[in-house]
Amino acid sequence: MITVNKILINHFGVPERSKKLPDPLDLLIATILSQNTNDNNSYKAFRSLKNKYKSWDELLHEKRSVIEKIIRVAGLALQKSSAIKNLITELDKRGNISLNFIQKFNNEKAIEELTSFKGIGVKTASCVLLFALDRNVCPVDTHVHRTTNRIGIVSAKTPDKTFYALNKNFPDGIAHSFHTNLIRLGREICKPAKPNCGACPLAEICKYPNKNLDNTSTGKKRDFMLLDNVGT
Ligand code: SF4
């Protein structure tokens, strides 16, 4: 993993990160909005919510259907508005509409707490740990799952299994660059149907048996990363 991280940094650079960590609840809501859409649309939906409500407390008495309309640009608005509304309602029942309480937990317990909310899975919970708590945890989305399995770092059938295999002995201090650069690799080069191995900086060490070495185009770059912009 350390070698892969170094090669990716040489190729893509050290990913930018805002100096101020975002609020964990902001980050969790942004991550819910980011599911199955691109970062630009989920950022628009997140900004629309932040502009309309001064604090998340105001969502407690807001109709779910109103939230659905506000976040429509992010897609899956019914499911996402339900998950957000449920999260706020549950936090209120626990006494405070905030996620600051998870700061005191270790990584395992924090993931257990976050995934106890309906609609919050391991990927979403681990994004909160990395991006809002600055823990050395690598979330596994579809890109990280595909690339780490192709490279041969892990061998796991689902993103959640990849997450636990990857994070078992994760090297210190590299989670943010490793995660972010693997997403860029997956979006721009190691695409699902046809990886562009001819343009891949990892081609020499990658164990994927079906490499496509024909095409050397580097593809279209998409640098904007939602979860690095939640606190800005
Ligand atoms: S060599 Fe090909 S399969 Fe391996 S990581 Fe690079 S693009 Fe993906």
- The reply to whether ligand 1 has any atom less than 6 angstroms from the CB of 7 is no
Give yes or no for residue 85 having a pLDDT over 80.
Answer: yes
Ligand 1 atom 4, closest CA: 206
Cα 58 to Cα 4: distance, rounded to the nearest angstrom: 44
Tens of pLDDT along 191-220? 999 999 999 999 999 999 999 988 655 555
- The reply to whether ligand 1 has any atom less than 6 angstroms from the CB of 146 is no
Write the CATH number of the domain with boundaries 2-16+140-228: 1.10.1670.10
Give yes or no for residue 230 having a pLDDT over 90.
Answer: no
Q: 17: pLDDT confidence band, cut at 50, 70 and 90? A: confident
Q: Which active-site residues does the annotation give?
A: 123
Ligand 1 atom 8, closest CA: 190
| pLDDT for position 18 | 81
Q: Which of 163, 134, 139, 127 is nearest to 30 (CA)?
A: 127
Q: CATH: 3.30.1330.80, 3.20.20.70, 1.10.340.30, 3.40.50.261. Which one for 24-132?
A: 1.10.340.30
Q: What is the mean pLDDT of residues 94-107?
A: 95
| pLDDT for position 217 | 59
- How close is the Cα of 112 to the center of ligand 1, in Å? 33
Tens of pLDDT along 138-173? 999 999 999 999 999 999 999 999 999 999 999 999
Give yes or no for residue 225 having a pLDDT over 80.
Answer: no
CA of 212, closest atom in ligand 1: 2
Where do we find the tokens 């659905």? 68
**Residue 39 CA from chain centroid, whole number:** 10
Ligand 1 atom 1, closest CA: 203
Q: What share of the chain is helix, strand, coil (3-state, %, to 5)?
A: 55, 0, 45
| pLDDT for position 152 | 97
If one compares 107 and 223, the residue with the highest pLDDT of the two is 107
Q: What is the mean pLDDT of residues 58-80?
A: 96
3-class secondary structure, 111: helix
- The reply to whether ligand 1 has any atom less than 6 angstroms from the CB of 226 is no
Cα 36 to Cα 222: distance, rounded to the nearest angstrom: 16
- The reply to whether ligand 1 has any atom less than 6 angstroms from the CB of 208 is yes
- How close is the Cα of 8 to the center of ligand 1, in Å? 12
Residues 6 or more apart whose CB falls under 8 angstroms from that of 87 comprise 28, 29, 32, 117, 119, 120
Give yes or no for residue 232 having a pLDDT over 80.
Answer: no
Give yes or no for residue 58 having a pLDDT over 80.
Answer: yes
- The reply to whether ligand 1 has any atom less than 6 angstroms from the CB of 42 is no
Domain-wise residue ranges, the chain: 2-16+140-228, 24-132
Average pLDDT of every residue of the chain? 93
Tokens of 26: 């902001």
pTM comes to: 0.88
| pLDDT for position 228 | 76
